[in-house]
Amino acid sequence: MSVYQFSVKDAYQKEISLSDYKGNVLLIVNTATKCGLTPQYAGLEKLYESYNSKGLEILDFPCNQFMNQAPGSDEELSGFCQLNYGTTFKTFAKIDINGDTAHPLYKFLKSKQSSEGDEDNKKGFISKLLNLKKSANTGEIKWNFTKFLIDRNGEVIERFAPTVKPEELASAIERIL
């Protein structure tokens, strides 16, 4: 199984097969436009500009499951990213990434990178946010801007916590390009 088996909708509701990205390195990110981590869009765009010509594609999946931080239509979200952060990578339609309504792509991604459990479910909200970097591979997505790195064969290579800044991914991307 690989990510190439899945189809998703773009911001204009057109069905896109991820097999269209065969042969590329993918960085799949769940995003939000009203989040404290939203400025990561700038770093994602820098990665895209640096590595797109070598085969990197960034796939942006807005998700409104975390405190409604991705409000608006799919077209509005895509426009926000382009206008405010100059993004040129693909923004897809809003999807769910956790729970019973999670998109099959995200069920797959999480199944490939969920090696340890959340050892302390009693932590408060702020404590959990501060601990996001440590708990990157714990099954359910913890917050906006969780990143999955996919190799040219469509295999999930690594999962990065929301607090991992895009610029910190450069060496991991270079290794598989």
Any idea which residues carry the catalytic annotation? Answer: 35
Q: Which helix (H) or strand (E) holds 17?
A: strand 15-17
Alpha carbon 102 to chain centroid distance?
14
Q: Which helix (H) or strand (E) holds 44?
A: helix 40-51
Q: Among candidates 106, 101, 103, which has minimal Cα distance to 139?
A: 106
Q: State the Cα–Cα distance between residues 105 and 103, nearest whole angstrom.
A: 5
